[in-house]
A and B are shown apart, each in its own frame.
Chain A
Amino acid sequence: MTRLPVPRLFLALAMVLAAIYLFPLYWMYATSLKGQSEIFANPPTFWPRDPDPSIYPETWERRSMGRFLWNSLVIGTGVTALTVLLGTGCAYVLARYRSAWVDLGLFAILMLQVLPASVMITPLYVGFNQLGLLSYPRTAVILAAAGKAIPFYIVLVRATFMNVPRELEEAALVDGNSRWGAFFFIVLPLARNGILVLAILTFMQAFGEYIYAKSIITTQAYQPASVGLSGFLGPNSTDWNGIMAYAAIYVTPIVAIFVILQRRIVAGLTSGALK
């Protein structure tokens, strides 16, 4: 839009903006490395005077993070597997055809996508309770969270499938494939990148899922890391370096994956959300 001759200046400004925006993330790592007294220094120190990483193994041990993270991993993997399994085929069909039925299905899915989890949790909890699913709390959370993730996944993966030319599939049919063969050997390999990115996004979301797990899983041994964090978090928390260390351990893998795949995630996300 503008042709000012100082792109360097803009780059510097952009980096300052990014630094301000990402300050909370920095503050998390900085706080976690401070000692108990330095946290409550006034004014706060912006660079830890005496960085002490020993809080990490200590928090890991004391908050039994291994178990919490394992549960998050189980839930994240379960939700992702279920979402990819159920969402991919549906997204493909909705991308392939244009008819009143497809519009209706898409409309229904868009509507399901917008339902807040806080609205769904009450009936889901009561329903799961009646069906006896609450005895398998992690499975129940996986089912509930997949129900939430699938519509989002379908909308975005559908955009990926729309980029696979229909003629390729037809060529495969004429070449001797059944619909299944054409889908698995031609269409899926070509949509692989988009599916992968969205599977990772789905995993990230499910890895941080809180409300369903908090409401459904009452046994501590099955709770994910988000519920574990909420256990010592609230308006009156004081153990801030412990909380920040916990948070850092929890989000660092997600942030790392995001930074590595940033370009693809952004592309996958923007292609389908709006056109």
Chain B
Amino acid sequence: MRRILSSVTDGRGFDILLVSITMIFLLALSGMPLVYNVVMSFQEVDMFNLNTFSRPYAGLENYREVVSQPEFGLILKNTAFFVFGSIAGQFVLGFALAMFFMMRFPFAATIRGVFLVSWVMPGLVVGALWGWILAGDFGVLNAILKGIGVIDSTMFWKSDPRLSIWAVTIANIWLGLAFNMMLLSVGLAAIPRDLYEAAELDGANGWHRFTTMTLPMMRSTIGAVLALGLIYTLQQFDLFPAITEGGPANSSNVAQYWAWQYSFLLFDFAKGATVSVMMLGFVLIASIVYVWSTRHEVRG
């Protein structure tokens, strides 16, 4: 006992204590639910056995039912569109802005920092703002687009099934753009300036410098940013209830919102868990890419 006590005040026990309390908490609130999720996806869960632990085993029945839903294909397509559209938009615009702000002019860092305000705002508020901007007849985006002659008829962003997924994707690009830019700026700032000067002396023009210096030097940063983009996009939830509620007719529904609808609108927790487990597959792939890209950070 005394040995343990002295280890806690002076030795390894101190470290073990600090880590283990947190790890136990995380295990209880993240690790176990994760396992429980997988378990539930193989069970029959209804309002009567919700409170018990022994539920009938359902095998792959839940998976079969989820896959055979008529909206399954549409939601898969929407999720892919939302994820890749968001990542592409955030990344390309974020990279362009990051490059722009690397140039030396007064207040560059401050103005760049202001962009990040989109990232600290509650997702639901961002959803509300974009819901109003994208409104059909009175939305300001339509007015602006008409004003500069891009469109001539009103676009019903939220209620047109062909456009509704665009509405949430645009809002999400706005939301994540600043974070992408910030991470890419860190990567850009880490490239030594004299490399560019050397390349310039060697006769490389701007485009060459970008493709032969910037891109290769940024490879691990880009990998991490894309992986984080995938992770954060799959985490994005708040925009859906705020803008389209997945509608009309599931035309803007995605896996993460569908899973929630199953559990909390239809109270079919088993199906909710099943959709979640399917999503986890993608998340795991993304996190492996992320951890791999930041592995030198991990090694610290």
Residues of A within 8 A of B (CB): 1-2, 4, 7-8, 10-11, 13-15, 17-18, 21-22, 24-25, 27-28, 31, 39-44, 86-87, 89-90, 92-98, 103, 105-112, 114-127, 129-130, 143-144, 146-148, 150-151, 154, 158, 162, 178-180, 183, 201, 204-205, 207-211, 214-215, 226, 229-230, 233-235, 237, 240, 243-244, 247, 250-251, 254-255, 258-259, 262-263, 265-266, 269-270, 273-275
Contact = CB atoms under 8 A, between A and B. Distances in A.
B250 interface: no
B9 A179 contact: yes
B155 interface: no
B74 interface: no
Contacts of B81: none
B57 interface: no
A187 B288 CA distance: 32
Given A8-B106, A116-B283, 8 more contacts: A10-B105, A27-B132, A125-B269, A130-B51, A204-B120, A210-B124, A215-B263, A244-B132
A142 to B, nearest CB: 11
18 contacts: A1-B103, A1-B209, A8-B105, A10-B100, A10-B108, A13-B100, A24-B130, A95-B300, A112-B31, A114-B287, A116-B283, A119-B256, A146-B25, A146-B29, A180-B14, A208-B124, A254-B121, A258-B117
B237 A1 contact: no
Contacts of B231: 114
Contacts of A27: 129, 132-133, 140
Nearest to B300: A162
B224 A274 contact: yes
B105 A247 contact: no
Contact of B116 (A123, A178, A179, A258): A258
Contact of B128 (A15, A204, A243): A243
Contacts of B101: 14
Interface of B: 9-11, 14-15, 18-19, 21-23, 25-26, 28-34, 36-37, 40, 45, 50-53, 97, 99-118, 120-133, 135, 137-138, 140, 143, 146-147, 158-159, 174, 177-178, 182-183, 185-187, 193, 196, 206, 209, 221, 224-225, 228, 231, 234-235, 237-238, 241-245, 247-248, 256-257, 259-260, 263-264, 269, 272-273, 276-277, 279-280, 283-284, 286-287, 290-291, 294, 296-300
Contacts of A251: 121-122, 125
A22 B125 CA distance: 14
Nearest to B228: A273
A10 B137 CA distance: 36
B260 A151 contact: no
Given A11-B107, A14-B111, A114-B286, A235 B235 contact: no
Given A86-B21, A114-B286, A265-B116, A179 B14 contact: yes
Contacts of A14: 100-101, 105, 107-108, 111-112
B276 A112 contact: no
B30 A266 contact: no
A89 B21 CA distance: 9
Contacts, number: 333
B22 A123 contact: no
A106 to B, nearest CB: 5
Contacts of A125: 263-264, 269
Nearest to B271: A122
Given A18-B115, A114-B283, A129-B51, A269 B182 contact: yes
A229 to B, nearest CB: 6
Contacts of A214: 241, 264
B105 A235 contact: no
A147 B29 contact: yes
B14 A28 contact: no
Contacts of B260: 118, 121-122, 211, 215
B19 A105 contact: yes
A15 B100 CA distance: 12
Contacts of B130: 24
A255 to B, nearest CB: 6
A147 B25 contact: yes
Contacts of A118: 235, 237, 256-257, 259-260, 276, 279
Contacts of B183: 270, 273-274
A105 B174 CA distance: 34
Contacts of B196: 1
A107 B209 CA distance: 35
Contacts of A275: 294, 296-297
Given A110-B287, A258-B117, A87 B235 contact: no
A31 B139 CA distance: 11
Please give me the 6 A-B residue pairs with the lowest Cβ-Cβ distance, nearest first: A208-B122, A147-B29, A89-B18, A7-B105, A90-B22, A10-B105
Given A105-B23, A126-B50, A24 B129 contact: yes
A44 B140 contact: yes
A147 B131 contact: no
B182 A270 contact: yes
B19 A25 contact: no
A107 B140 contact: no
